[in-house]
Amino acid sequence: MINNTAYEIRRNAFKVDATHIIQAYLKTEGSLFRDQFIELIQEAYLSYVVGCSRASIITSGEALLRLLLHKIDDIFSYIRISDKEAIEIKKYHYATVINVLSLNKVYPSYIIQQMRNVKDLRNIAAHGEYPVLIPWDPDDGRDVDEIIKLFKGEIKIPEAYVFHLNNVNNGKKPKRKVGFDTRKYSCSFKNMRYQDRYAAIQYLFVIEIMSFIYSSRNNLFFIR
């Protein structure tokens, strides 16, 4: 049975802007991955609102993977790709897909990093335990006047979180820190379970990446 209060909290945590989903659907016309993407992104949101956090995180990640696979299909003639990489991509190897896009400089590094965050959260949801989600003050380092306003209650510490993920080919490298400032995404996760927060974070990361990919100003010559 669904807890109606928890359901409403999840549903009201953020508003879904369908603009980028519609753009992705229109831009992938004729793609083998189009229907898969729509089914997965819809399932991701529905799983989130009913509280199936792991299913939502996985399907959000898989939805993004379908768009990236479409992108590689679309630009295949323009990029450098080895036979081994081509075989791995046909097997839906997430890391290889992102590495090929990175090495060919298809997207800026911060978007590539966000793709890796989505991939890693997907893997954690499928195979591991969630990292600790820590409250974070993104405005730390305030001047004296702001600190006084903070103590007077004139301003508040914004709602934000930080967590840590493994680096690519981790080895002895420290884990990378991932910050999430709710102001950037116009959302609030108060009174939500930590696993629901992760599902929301994953979904919003995917929407953010989609908004970049399908923004008209980012439509490079090889993008339909």
- In a domain, residue 169? The reply is no
- Phi then psi for 174, rounded to 5 degrees? -70, 155
CATH number for 19 = 1.20.120.330
Whether residue 182 is contained in a domain is answered as: no
In sign, the C-alpha dihedral spanning 50, 128, 179, 103 is negative
pLDDT level of residue 17 (50, 70, 90 thresholds): confident
Lowest mean pLDDT segment, chosen from 30-34, 193-197, 212-216: 212-216
208 part of a folded domain: yes
Q: Tell me the DSSP string of 87-123.
A: HHHHTT-HHHHHHHHHHTT-S-HHHHHHHHHHHHHHH
Q: Per residue in 123-146, pLDDT tens?
A: 999 998 999 999 999 989 888 998
Residue ranges of the alpha helices (H) in 4-108?
A: 4-12, 19-27, 34-49, 53-75, 83-90, 94-103
Domain coverage including residue 103: 4-129+189-218
| DSSP category for residue 18 | T
Three-class SS state of 160:
strand
The residue behind tokens 């989903």 is 21
Query: Tens digit of pLDDT for each residue in 171-187?
Result: 566 789 999 999 999 99
* Inside any domain, residue 156: no
Number of domains in the chain: 1
Query: Does residue 135 lie within any of the structural domains?
Result: no
- Whether 210 maps to a domain, the answer reads yes
Assess if residue 95 is contained within a domain. yes
Domain for residue 50, yes or no? yes
